[in-house]
């Protein structure tokens, strides 16, 4: 388990380094400035030791020498402050540009992921990866850049300075150092697993919160608050446990290394004092040596803290890379055609499809649709009506057979041109945070105000929009805010009406609209559907009487097809459905 975690950690680290390489200039400058900062900082104890030697002994103070050293110290301190400020600026720029790149890549990849990934992963968990995990990664990376370079250079620099003063005492320091490294490495390995578990549990909690907040009305309507609270408490308890363990193990690093470092300082103090008594070391040199010993051990504490944060950062980065490396939707062929001047000839030939390989849904479905036909799809829940729509829009790809438009297999055309050829209104409305106008012009951003208003009038949405506080400039939230379900659906219909696409898909498009308005909308749709191939999924059979062809589906098969009168005369499944809706 530990070996597997180590290999995963190394793989993630290699990926992070690929992003860091893009900003090698900032990185190089940061390392150079870290070296300047450390060199200047380590020069101070040497100057302090010289100053002490200038004032040793009664009535033997060399004021000229002391003032000269003080001037040097002032220059060195100013240089240190400047170098540190520029270094921190480089580190900040480098860190947040790297995190920006990873976030950009993650969000761009989300757009390419197949719908089956979105259907099988909680949206809150995906949000947690892109937002919370990226923030945690940024914090760890920034601390790593800020303290790691300085720590390593400080260790090397202090060893150099100590060797120049006394090689024997430096050897004592080197002999105790490995103990600190072994302790830090052991604890670091333990903490990675804990931080990964913490990150995963936090994602699970975010998913639950988003789900419950998004469906708060339903939760309250069905008195599900207690169960939701219990589920949240259970996840929160697990998050508490793994967070405590992660923090506990990580917090062991600092005191453990401090204990070892105190041994180093003690060893230097004892051997240095004996050397000073024997005349092999001056008091000023001993003072400088003790200061160097302290400077030498301090980075080990800081690096151990950095390593702990880096464990968390790498665990979070790993979850981000898992998202980025998810297999995207089937790429388009390089020679993919662009659908233009679509007439609307649709051929569905021997199509097979299932969401779960072990559970068949559509089997050997055949359909030929002429340009301008209105095709209604009816049948009981779960028979495959919406699945046909998903396949037409290529949200999913067929497992067998083919679908073609105007003689072109939809897998051989660009997704953009395919989806631009359809206007789609779903039973489930979707609005984004923004103004009413911004929601309507989503499919046609360059639409004029006159075009927007004309589309809204045609859909009978203009009257209620005009009554809103700011009219078309009224800002709504992503769920439509105080708009009724019917009003939200009218906006979605207006969005399609504005685009005038060559083909239409209406999946229970008027299910949330009152009967009187529905009749008006049906008239508007009738005008819109003239000359356009249209696919209409409906439960209310009264809305599809005028369809050119009605497909009756059951258990993934088209069991009947024909127009309304033909199907009634057959007295089959469709006739039973129709009679059940209109029987008195």
Pairwise pLDDT comparison (543 vs 227), residue with the higher score: 227
In this predicted structure, the answer to whether residue 46 has a pLDDT above a threshold of 80 is no
Task: Please write the tens of the pLDDT for every residue from 25-37.
Answer: 888 888 888 888 8
Given pLDDT bands bounded at 50, 70 and 90, which one contains residue 59? low
What integer is the mean pLDDT of 311-317? 79
- Confidence at 1, pLDDT banded by 50, 70, 90: very low
Mode of pairing for the β-strands spanning 362-369 and 374-378: unpaired
| Domain architecture of the chain: domains with CATH | 2-324 (1.20.1560.10), 332-421+537-584 (3.40.50.300)
DSSP state of 395: S
Per-residue pLDDT, averaged over 118-131, amounts to 79
Helix axis angle, 24-54 to 63-112, nearest 10°: 160
Q: Mind listing the pLDDT tens digit for each residue in 386-435? A: 888 888 888 888 888 899 998 888 888 888 888 888 888 877 778 888 88
- Model confidence at 203, in pLDDT bands (50, 70, 90)? confident
Q: How confident is the model at residue 82 (pLDDT cuts 50, 70, 90)?
A: very high
Strands 549-554 and 374-378: parallel
Better-scored residue on pLDDT, 527 or 399: 399
Give 117-125's long-range contacts (Cβ < 8 A, gap of 24+).
117/326, 119/355, 122/204, 122/207, 122/208, 122/210, 122/211, 123/207, 123/210, 124/203, 124/206, 124/207, 124/208, 124/209, 124/210, 124/211, 125/203, 125/204, 125/206, 125/207
**Confidence class for position 6, pLDDT limits 50, 70, 90:** low
Which pLDDT belongs to residue 542? 63
Identify whether the C-beta of residue 574 lies closer than 8 Å to the C-beta of residue 567. Answer: yes
Q: What is the pLDDT of residue 56?
A: 64
Q: Which residues contact 332 (CB under 8 A, 6 or more apart)?
A: 414, 415
Structure tokens at 396: 């999913």
46 vs 65: CA distance, rounded Å: 14
Q: Enter the tokens of residue 275.
A: 């050397």
**Distance (Å, rounded) from C-alpha 481 to C-alpha 171?**
71
Q: Compute CA 88 distance to the chain's CA centroid, rounded to the nearest angstrom.
A: 27
Residue with tokens 């890379």: 321
* Strand arrangement, sheet containing 374-378: 422-425, 503-507, 533-537, 374-378, 549-554, 557-562
Check: CB of residue 560 under 8 Å from CB of residue 567.
yes
CA max distance for the chain: 125
Confidence band, pLDDT 50/70/90 cuts, at residue 584: very low
Written as one string, the DSSP assignment of 287-324 is: HHHHHHHHHHHHHHHHHHHHHHHHHHHHHHHHHHHHHH
Mean local confidence (pLDDT), 449-466: 87
Q: Which tokens sit at 532? A: 């356009």
Residue 6: C-alpha distances to residues 133, 195, 270 (Å):
20, 13, 40
Reference 207, options 136, 118, 138, 313; nearest CA is 118
pLDDT at 511: 65
- What's the mean pLDDT when you consider all of the chain? 80
Q: Which residue has the higher pLDDT, 582 or 212?
A: 212
pLDDT at 378 over 80: yes
Sorting pLDDT into bands at 50, 70 and 90, what band is 241?
Answer: confident
407: alpha, beta or left, given left = phi > 0 and alpha = psi -120 to 50? left
Full 3-state SS string of 4-46: HHHHHHHHHHHHHHHHHHCCHHHHHHHHHHHHHHHHHHHHHHH
What pLDDT, on a 0 to 100 scale, did the predictor assign at position 162?
A: 75
- Cα 130 versus chain centre, distance: 2
């Amino acid at each position: 388990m530990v070996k597997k975690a180590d290999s995963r950690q190394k793989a993630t680290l290699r990926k992070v380094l690929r992003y860091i390489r893009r900003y090698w200039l900032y990185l190089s400058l940061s390392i150079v400035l870290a070296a300047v900062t450390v060199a200047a900082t380590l020069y101070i104890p040497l100057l302090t030791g010289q100053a002490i030697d200038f004032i040793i002994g009664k009535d033997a103070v060399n004021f000229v020498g002391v003032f000269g050293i003080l001037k040097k110290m002032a220059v060195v301190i100013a240089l240190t402050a400047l170098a540190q400020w520029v270094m921190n600026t480089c580190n900040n720029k480098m860190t947040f540009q790297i995190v920006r790149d990873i976030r950009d890549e993650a969000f761009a990849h989300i757009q390419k992921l197949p719908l089956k990934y979105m259907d099988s992963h909680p949206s809150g968990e995906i949000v947690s990866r892109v937002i919370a995990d990226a923030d945690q990664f940024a914090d760890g990376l920034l601390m790593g850049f800020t303290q790691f370079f300085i720590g390593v250079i400080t260790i090397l620099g202090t060893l150099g300075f100590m060797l120049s003063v006394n090689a024997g005492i430096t050897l004592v320091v080197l002999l105790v150092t490995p103990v600190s490294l072994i302790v830090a490495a052991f604890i670091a390995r333990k903490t990675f697993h804990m931080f990964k578990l913490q990150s995963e549990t936090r994602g699970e909690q975010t998913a639950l919160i988003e789900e419950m907040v998004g469906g708060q009305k339903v939760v309250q309507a069905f008195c599900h608050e207690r169960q939701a609270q219990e589920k949240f408490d259970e996840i929160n308890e697990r998050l508490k446990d793994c967070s405590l363990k992660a923090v506990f193990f990580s917090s062991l690093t600092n005191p453990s290394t401090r204990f070892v470092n105190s041994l180093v300082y003690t060893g230097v103090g004892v051997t240095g004092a004996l050397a000073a008594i024997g005349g092999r070391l001056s008091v000023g040199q001993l003072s400088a040596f003790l200061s160097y010993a302290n400077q030498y051990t301090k980075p080990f504490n800081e690096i151990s803290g950095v390593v702990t944060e880096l464990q968390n950062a790498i665990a979070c980065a790993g979850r981000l890379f898992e998202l980025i490396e998810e297999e995207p939707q089937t790429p388009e062929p390089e020679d993919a055609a662009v659908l233009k001047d679509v007439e609307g000839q649709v051929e569905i030939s021997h199509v097979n499809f299932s969401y779960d390989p072990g559970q068949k849904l559509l089997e050997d479905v055949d359909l030929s649709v002429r340009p301008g036909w209105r095709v209604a799809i009816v049948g009981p829940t779960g028979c495959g009506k919406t699945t046909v729509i998903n396949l037409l829009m290529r949200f999913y790809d067929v497992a067998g057979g083919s679908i073609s438009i105007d003689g072109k297999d939809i897998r051989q055309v660009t997704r953009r041109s395919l989806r631009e050829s359809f206007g789609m209104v779903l039973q489930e409305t979707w609005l984004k945070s923004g103004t009413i106008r911004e929601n309507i012009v989503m499919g046609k951003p360059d639409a004029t105000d006159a075009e927007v208003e004309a589309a809204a009038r045609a859909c009978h949405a203009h009257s209620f929009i005009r009554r809103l506080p700011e009219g078309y400039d009224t800002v709504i939230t992503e769920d439509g805010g105080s708009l009724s379900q019917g009003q939200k659906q009218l906006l979605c219909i207006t969005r399609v009406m504005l685009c005038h696409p060559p083909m239409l898909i209406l999946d229970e498009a008027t299910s949330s609209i009152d009967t009187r308005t529905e009749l008006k909308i049906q008239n508007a749709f009738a005008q819109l559907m003239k000359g356009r191939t249209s696919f209409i999924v409906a439960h209310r059979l009264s809305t599809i009487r005028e369809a050119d062809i009605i497909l009756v589906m059951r258990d993934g098969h088209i069991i009947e097809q024909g127009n309304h009168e033909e199907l009634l005369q057959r007295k089959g499944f469709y006739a039973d459905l129709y009679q059940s809706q209109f029987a008195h």
